[in-house]
Amino acid sequence: MSDPTARSTAATGASTTEQVKDQVRDEAQVVREKAGDAFGQARGRLREQVDQRSTDASERIYATAEDVRSVAEELRRQGRETPARLADQIADRAESFGSYLRNADGDRLLGDVETFARRQPWAVAAGGLALGFVASRFLKASSSRRYWSGDGDPARSFVSEGASSAAATTGIDATRAVDDQHATSRNRGR
């Protein structure tokens, strides 16, 4: 016969295992709910931001459309009907887009962007590429300005306006000119 104490210990071990599994399931459910809540809050904030920004953009677009209409009226006064009609068409389309932005909520705008990206992936990729190129040119230009203003390499922060302008007017490499000036300054100090 089997030992009743062993059977009781095995049953207790199995029930403890089941309790631990239940606790893990409960904790996992709590984590899923909290993650869902956090995602919902983030989505709500994004929706609010899109709503606010689209409303602001629509107001600017309406103001620009009014300016274009003023240009069209001036062109008509000058007797230039064809450019005036073109300006009116541009203003009409701008007002239409401004109306769309004002009346659409954040969910609709985000959905329309997603739909466009699915239908025109190459256009989105090309736009991203162009945006990346512009950003890289901006960063490159701002880093060279920081470098020459003394915020860059501390060893070269003594660069005078004369060294950089001499390099620019003579066509020599500005870095080489600065290095030469630095070497000259060190030699004078000896």
Domain boundaries, the chain: 1-119
C-beta separation of 76 from 39 below 8 A: no
Q: Which residue carries 């630095």 as its tokens?
A: 182
Summarised one tens digit per residue, pLDDT across range 44-101 is 888 888 888 888 888 999 999 999 999 999 989 999 899 899 999 999 999 999 999 8
Q: What is the pLDDT of residue 20?
A: 83
**80: three-class secondary structure by DSSP:** coil
Average pLDDT of the residues of the chain: 76
Is this prediction's pTM over 0.75? Answer: no
Rounded Cα–Cα distance for residues 98 and 60 (Å): 8
C-beta separation of 157 from 150 below 8 A: yes
pLDDT class for 147, splitting at 50, 70, 90?
low
